[in-house]
A and B are shown apart, each in its own frame.
Chain A
Amino acid sequence: MRLDVHGHRRIDRWITFVLRAGMILSVCVMVLGLLIYAFFPTQSSGTVSIQQLPSEILKGNGQAVLLVGILILIATPMARVLTALAVFIIDRDLKFIAICTLVLLTLLVAVLVRPH
């Protein structure tokens, strides 16, 4: 482990950047979505499906914009894992490449879970 007291290690820098970017982007889109929804509330309730998103956004559906922001937010931890993986690949740290891959695989499993 490289020694650097003030947190300027590459992994810290890259992950900070990804988290901040994801945060700023998702907050901006969510606030936009909330404002649109506040001024032009839609009649439909419940979730908008992903296939409907592009058309709903063009229709000016605030909920759809909001959902995009939420999806960006949800994608940020995923992006963080991918960033860590990239750093570990550059550092050729096999142990942590394996661990990151394991995290990504288990996250993919989550998509398939539909309890009845």
Chain B
Amino acid sequence: MEPLIAIGIIVAALLAGLIGSLFGVGGGIIISPVLTLVFNIPLKEAIGASLVGVIATSTGAASRYVSQGLVNIRLGMIMEPATVVGSIIGAATAILIQEFYLAAAFGILLLYGTYYMIRGPEATIHYRSPKEKLPDFCGIYYDGLERKTICYESRNIPKGIGASFGAGITSGLLGIGGGLIQVPVMNVWMGVPMRAATATSNFMIGVTALAGAIVFYVNGLIEPVLAGTVAVGIFLGAMLGAMLSQKITSANLRRYFALLTFIISILMFLKAFGLELGV
């Protein structure tokens, strides 16, 4: 790999890691498109490297979020079997189908992501008062920005598990973490405050991407130099992002998220039609 290309990939991965950890996503929504759009890497190899990158984002950011007490570990873990199964199915599908469909699917997913985040105000979370004995899926943490202790109870767990299955499919299929689905589902359907949803999503997607990465690896689609370069860049970005996240308000997080997904959606549609036209 040319040194200039390697540096370019590290910079792109750093941005992906930064944005990824701020929004509870894996950065894969940036890395896969950038690798294929800017660096002309075949989409399936890009997806394989991106999955490794998602694991890097998740590990880097989650290690901070867990230490801050933001991650609802039990809630994350109950949704993980569904994401793993979904990811396996998605990865197997990605390996089988043509690149055009993958690129188009990317575009569609990202448009959906944009719409979802713009659609409504952030969900009102019904806070509980901290008591001695709280049910399994409650979360409690200290919010540095609002300077108070937040206690919440999650609901609609089965619905969340179903959505996690879908998130898992997108993960294995497109090399993303699935946070694009996980964060809004946790916030809007399950009653988790945005900051905790972001943190829990970052935590979960490591395992989701792991499942997809295993499938890609045993099928020879993970190129070490590419994956390694992406991972190192993403680690740097993810650590930076987790440090900054307490300083950004929840409402702004949603807005930036929507703008981001919209831009990338357009780019991927262009790519899909470029592929179709043999460009």
Contact = CB atoms under 8 A, between A and B. Distances in A.
Contact of A3 (B55, B68, B134, B215): B134
A78 B210 contact: yes
Interface stretch (B181-189, B229-237, B263-271): B229-237
A11 interface: yes
Interface stretch (B27-35, B99-107, B110-118, B136-144): B136-144
Interface string A13-37: 1011001101100110011011001
Given A5-B141, A16-B66, A81-B207, A70 B77 contact: no
Given A70-B52, A84-B73, A30 B62 contact: no
A96 B74 contact: yes
B228 A66 contact: yes
A87 B62 CA distance: 18
Interface residues of B, number: 66
Main secondary structure of the interface of A (DSSP, over half): helix
B84 A110 contact: yes
Interface string A84-116: 100000000001100110110011011101110
Given A19-B66, A96-B74, A110 B55 contact: no
Given A3-B134, A84-B77, A34 B229 contact: yes
A88 to B, nearest CB: 9
Given A70-B52, A106-B88, A15 B73 contact: yes
B276 interface: no
B225 A1 contact: no
Given A19-B63, A103-B84, A74 B217 contact: yes
Contacts of A111: 214, 218
Given A12-B69, A113-B92, A77 B223 contact: no
Given A106-B81, A111-B214, A74 B63 contact: no
Contact of B222 (A1, A3, A70, A106): A70
B267 to A, nearest CB: 27
Contact of B58 (A3, A30, A77): A77
B60 interface: yes
A47 B224 contact: yes
Given A34-B232, A102-B81, A1 B138 contact: yes
Nearest to A15: B66
Contacts of B88: 106, 109-110, 113
A38 B3 contact: yes
A115 B235 CA distance: 31
Given A27-B232, A113-B88, A7 B206 contact: no
B224 A73 contact: no
Contact of B213 (A11, A74, A81): A74
A70 B222 CA distance: 10
B220 interface: yes
B207 A11 contact: no
A6 B69 contact: yes
Contact of B206 (A48, A76, A100, A115): A76
Nearest to B168: A106
Given A12-B73, A96-B74, A113-B215, A66 B59 contact: no
B253 interface: no
B132 interface: yes
Given A5-B69, A19-B62, A63-B224, A107 B214 contact: yes
A7 to B, nearest CB: 2
